Amino acid sequence: MTISLSDSDITDLEISTVLNVLKSKRLALGPYLEKFQQSIKEFTKVKYALAVNSGTSALHLILKSLNFQKDQKMLVSPFSFISSANVALFEGGIPVFIDIDPQTYNISPQKLKEFIDKSYQKDITTFMGVDIFGIPSPWDEIYSILPQEINIIEDSCEALGGEYKNKKLGTFGKAGTFAFYPNKQITTGEGGIIVTDNEEIFDLCKSMSNQGRGKSGEWLISERLGYNYRMDEMSAALGFAQMQRIDEISKKRKEKAQRYFELFKNDNRIVLPNVPSVVTSQSWFVFVLRLDLGWLSNFLNIPNWVKNFELPTKFETQKSKEEWSKIIKQLRNTLQNLIKKLNQKGIESKNYFYPIHLQPFYMKMFGYTPGDYPVTELVSSMTFAIPFFSNITQEEQKDVYNAIDKSLKEIKNETAF
């Protein structure tokens, strides 16, 4: 038997709602699109919501609505899904990476401040704040560090329902986004949504999502360059039905997360997710574990400065880069060995995330090399997602824990200096 990495929480309500759309034969731009948007507006307490066909489309539209232009720069985390950075490339801009905090995996406020103090220039127009794995970015610190002229976008694609100091995530920038791929808190199959209190951003995004059509709604008249980023009616109906159950779904996911915390709480081989005290409601997207460097150093040659995360901002010399690459390689090989063992035991698991700056085309386009963002590279070499979804059973979670326990013992016994 295989325990899947993720699974959607679909009930008869969702099925019957989608069937209503099929029976109506109104498959696009119908009433459920408005119902879904309204449910998200009420949930996040924003003035405007625009459903589109993906979280990537949502981020792109926001960036374009803010007049982000060629050769302008956007600050973003290198530890995220690649679209967080790619949207700048869509407009001929340049993603500028800020390394992460080793505990939360979000952008490090300290490194952000160092960058702003030393390297800020007027061509840096935008900050893309990612709430990684549903953990909020340190929003108070971010606002205290960034110059006021920088536009802030919140990539909350993984964070629907999360709260930072009792304020819903998605509402900390000029606009925010949620995504609804099947592994997310709720799903529309494929889809995303823009949330904002800014009428101009909403109007521009709505127009551009629908081939640039204006407020008049003239079918074949386009006022600006646009795209076909619309969400279809079946997806909207599914999302609307899911939103009727959002409290139930969120509660179940919190219970499953807590169960994993209980199972792993005394396991010193594993580092559990870090939920800061400012998080007044955690939204669980995936459950990501990290191998503990102290445990790994029992059978891998890991220097103390690595174990303590005493890393430079960047490895500068060729010698230091080569040494660093060897360390990361042995860690990543160990992680891949673990993932392979888990999959062989019927436990789906995957590495989360691979550094954006080390994606092949980023290295080719910008000349990035290993050692440019050490914390991201180190965290990426040790983090993995385990099966997590609303309806995973306690027995399945116990099986996941037992498989990890057994696999880690195997790895230690098989590996030597």
Confidence band, pLDDT 50/70/90 cuts, at residue 215: confident
DSSP per-residue string spanning 320-367 = HHHHHHHHHHHHHHHHHHHHHHHHHTTB--EE-PPPGGGSHHHHHHH-
What is the tens place of the pLDDT at every residue in 340-380? 999 999 999 999 999 999 999 999 999 999 999 999 999 99
What is the maximal distance between C-alpha atoms in the chain? Answer: 70
Residues 172 and 160: their CA atoms lie apart, in Å, by: 13
Same fold, 12-245 and 247-414: no
pLDDT at res. 416: 62
Is the model's pLDDT at 203 over the cut of 60?
yes
Calculate mean pLDDT across residues 261-289: 97
Q: Is the pLDDT of residue 93 over 60?
A: yes
Q: What is the pLDDT of residue 216?
A: 77
Quick check: 146 and 127 in contact, CB under 8 A? Answer: yes
Range 247-414 has CATH code 3.40.1050.10: no
Which pLDDT score is estimated for 76? 98
Mean pLDDT value of segment 117-128: 96
How far, in Å, CA of 41 to CA of 263, rounded? 37
Question: By CB neighbour count within 10 A (0-12 exposed, 13-18 middle, 19+ buried), where does 212 fall?
Answer: middle
Q: Cβ(267)–Cβ(403) under 8 Å?
A: no
- The pLDDT, as a whole number, for residue 188 is 98
> Can you tell me the mean pLDDT for 181-204?
97
pLDDT beyond 60 at 417: no
The predicted model gives 237-244 an average pLDDT of: 98
- Considering only the top CATH level, what class is 12-245? alpha beta
Q: pLDDT band at residue 219, thresholds of 50, 70 and 90? A: confident
Show me where the domains of the chain are located.
12-245, 247-414
pLDDT > 70: what percent of the chain?
99
Does the pLDDT of residue 231 top 70, yes or no? yes
Q: Which residues pair with 153 in a beta bridge?
A: 128, 175
Residue 220: pLDDT band (50, 70, 90) is confident
Residue 249 has pLDDT above 80, yes or no: yes
> If pLDDT is split at 50, 70 and 90, which confidence band does 213 have?
very high
The CA distances from residue 124 to 4, 128, 154, 202, 366, in Å, are 41, 11, 16, 23, 17
Of 16-25, 43-52, 210-219, 290-299, which gets the smallest average pLDDT?
A: 210-219
Q: What is the mean pLDDT of residues 108-112?
A: 98
Closest CA to 155 of 57, 41, 9: 57
pLDDT in tens, 138-192: 999 999 999 999 999 999 999 999 999 999 999 999 999 999 999 999 999 999 9
Give yes or no for residue 289 having a pLDDT over 80: yes
Is 90 exceeded by the pLDDT of residue 24?
Answer: yes
Residue closest to 350 by CA, chosen among 358, 340, 360: 340
DSSP letters, 363-412, are HHHH---TTSSHHHHHHHTTEEEE---TT--HHHHHHHHHHHHHHHHHHH
Nearest C-alpha neighbor of 35 from the set 188, 195, 240, 219? 240
31: pLDDT confidence band, cut at 50, 70 and 90?
very high
